[in-house]
Amino acid sequence: MASYDVIIIGGGPGGYVCAIRCAQLGLKTACVEGRETLGGTCLNVGCIPSKALLHASHQLHEAEHNFEKMGLSAGKVKVDWKQMLAYKDDVIGQNTKGIEFLFKKNKVDWLKGWGSIPEAGKVKVGDEIHEAKAIVIASGSEPSPVPGADVTVDEKVVVTSTGALALPKVPKRMVVIGAGVIGLEMGSVYARLGAEVEVIEFLDAITPGMDSEVQKTFQRILSKQGLKFTMGAAVQKVETKGGKATVTYKLRKDDSEHTTEADVVLCATGRRPYTDGLGLEGVGVELTERGQVKTDDHWQTTAKGIYAIGDAIEGPMLAHKAEDEGMAVAEVIAGKHGHVNYGVIPGVIYTAPEVASVGKTEDQLKKDGVAYKVGKFSFMGNGRAKAVFQGEGFVKLLADKETDRVLGCHIIGPGAGDLIHEICVGMEFGASAEDIALTCHAHPTFSEAVREAALACGDGAIHA
């Protein structure tokens, strides 16, 4: 038996970041992880591998659609799917080994195996029981079943994001259930690789919760890229036979039933907290109705000395939200002041173009009765974007009508996932739109579009 100041259960972005920060703050720290490699869903079967496939398939798109325009000829670019998967696995390996290195560097013990909490202050891993003054649950999430539908995932024909990252071949036809982040990122990958992709979505708009103007533009651009959308449709069942699937769905407008065939069906209708086997009930850790671990403002659960962070608790299921909570709870455990500003957590979709947002949407401001102004700027007015065939999309900045304080920003366009952070920093410092507009932005960069949107909140954009 070993004795620690903190044991963290889960080695994903929430857990490993928490472990490193705890160690940096002088706490004797261990992290329990049952996978063969550290990094959790994000590094092994989520954010990182999907970005590798998005990058590779985007290069193919560039070669097929833009090379000739720039005077480049490479003949017909062929896809070696096995090599693409090997490249993706190599990227995973580099990243997961990097975390292992960071654990060694910071003297964090990796307790290999699946952990549980037999009693307060104790964590069991395999047959060993370890003592801990504080325990942090960072056990993450797993794909949810398709709600109200008869669907059995086999990770071959009917897959979750995990199976979609390792298909044996590029399917001829793919049906994606759910037009959320996973469905659109993975749908884009396979569409670029030549699959016919149909996305079936329950709601009337894609990417629920996003700014509605962004939703419309995004759907239009993806449709142009070849994704077919069937909206307002609830999937009822998926049947498989002879390596093929038949998807049955009902259109909400008239209750009519339809079927469609596919070689692969990707179920992307959300994720749910994963807390199985932790023994939470026995130690008094309560869950919400949705299975999330209940926590207070300091990530303390209903059991003293047991904390929880990341996808296992309330809030957006995002790696960076988990990381922030991991750092903050480490500070709390070390007797400092951990804080997460939940009003400034960016969301990014890594399609081409990228989509990014932070803060309030226009719909939320209307609902809250806040008087606001909108500054919008199209990437068509941005020289750099036009030079690289990425003039589609816009930056939309929302600011308080009276004080000019930035309340939110929504971007669809090149580099959106990086551009959004200028606004995040601005919002953390309570910036006004004018502050952004008066800041010199290098020319020619995509970031000028953000400045122009800020100018549009005042006397007007220059290149509009």
Catalytic residues: 443
Instruction: Using the minimum distance from each CB to ligand NAI, give the nearer residue, 271 or 410.
Output: 271
Q: ∠ CA 197-201-204 to the nearest 5 degrees?
A: 125
Residue of 132, 463, 168, 188 lying closest to 306 (CA atoms): 132
Rounded to whole angstroms, the Cα distance separating 84 from 207 reads 28
Say whether residue 218 binds ligand NAI (CB under 6 A).
Answer: no
Residue 424 structure tokens: 């995040």
Least Cβ distance, residue 290 to ligand NAI (angstroms): 13
Least Cβ distance, residue 460 to ligand NAI (angstroms): 33
Rounded to whole angstroms, the Cα distance separating 372 from 346 reads 20
**One residue of 17, 117, 132, 146 binding ligand NAI per CB under 6 A:** 146
Instruction: Using the minimum distance from each CB to ligand NAI, give the nearer residue, 271 or 384.
Output: 271
Least Cβ distance, residue 180 to ligand NAI (angstroms): 2
Rounded to whole angstroms, the Cα distance separating 111 from 3 reads 12
Using the rule CB under 6 A, give the single segment among 69-77, 195-203, 218-226, 330-338 that binds ligand NAI. 195-203
Say whether residue 262 binds ligand NAI (CB under 6 A).
Answer: no
Say whether residue 232 binds ligand NAI (CB under 6 A).
Answer: no
Instruction: Using the minimum distance from each CB to ligand NAI, give the nearer residue, 46 or 115.
Output: 46
Say whether residue 198 binds ligand NAI (CB under 6 A).
Answer: no
CB 266 within 8 A of CB 181: no
Task: Write the CA distances from 353 to 315, 388, 390, 451, integer angstroms.
Answer: 26, 12, 7, 19
Rounded to whole angstroms, the Cα distance separating 41 from 451 reads 36
**One residue of 27, 108, 177, 416 binding ligand NAI per CB under 6 A:** 177
Instruction: Using the minimum distance from each CB to ligand NAI, give the nearer residue, 84 or 318.
Output: 318
Q: Using N-to-C axis directions, what is the helix angle for 47-65 and 81-106, rounded to 10°?
A: 140
The phi, psi pair for 179, rounded to 5°, reads -95, 50
Least Cβ distance, residue 423 to ligand NAI (angstroms): 17
Say whether residue 115 binds ligand NAI (CB under 6 A).
Answer: no
**One residue of 203, 231, 344, 374 binding ligand NAI per CB under 6 A:** 203
Long-range contacts of 383-388 (CB under 8 A, 24+ apart): 383/443, 383/444, 384/414, 384/444, 384/445, 384/446, 384/448, 385/413, 385/414, 385/446, 385/449, 387/444, 388/414
**One residue of 27, 45, 309, 318 binding ligand NAI per CB under 6 A:** 318
Say whether residue 323 binds ligand NAI (CB under 6 A).
Answer: no
Binding mask 385-414 for ligand NAI (x = CB under 6 A): ------------------------------
State the DSSP code for 209: T
For 322, the enclosing helix (H) or strand (E) is helix 319-333
Using the rule CB under 6 A, give the single segment among 114-122, 220-228, 263-271, 286-294 that binds ligand NAI. 263-271
Residue 456 structure tokens: 């549009």
Binding mask 36-75 for ligand NAI (x = CB under 6 A): ----------------------------------------
Say whether residue 149 binds ligand NAI (CB under 6 A).
Answer: yes
Residue 65 structure tokens: 């659609």
**One residue of 103, 202, 299, 372 binding ligand NAI per CB under 6 A:** 202
Say whether residue 270 binds ligand NAI (CB under 6 A).
Answer: yes
DSSP 323-360: HHHHHHHHHHHTTS-----GGG--EEE-SSSEEEEEE-
**One residue of 12, 49, 180, 375 binding ligand NAI per CB under 6 A:** 180
Residue 288 structure tokens: 């919400």
Say whether residue 135 binds ligand NAI (CB under 6 A).
Answer: no
Residue of 393, 420, 417, 394 lying closest to 406 (CA atoms): 420
Using the rule CB under 6 A, give the single segment among 147-155, 398-406, 407-415, 434-442 that binds ligand NAI. 147-155
Using the rule CB under 6 A, give the single segment among 200-208, 361-369, 437-445, 450-458 that binds ligand NAI. 200-208
Per the rule left: phi > 0, alpha: psi between -120 and 50, beta: everything else, 169 is beta
Which residue number is nearest to ligand NAI in terms of Cβ? 180
CB 215 within 8 A of CB 393: no
Using the rule CB under 6 A, give the single segment among 32-40, 140-148, 293-301, 389-397 that binds ligand NAI. 140-148
Least Cβ distance, residue 295 to ligand NAI (angstroms): 18
Residue of 357, 369, 360, 432 lying closest to 395 (CA atoms): 357
**One residue of 98, 126, 147, 282 binding ligand NAI per CB under 6 A:** 147
Site size toward ligand NAI (CB under 6 A) is 29
The residue ranges that bind ligand NAI (CB under 6 A) are 146-149, 177-183, 185, 200-203, 208, 234-235, 268-271, 316-318, 348-350
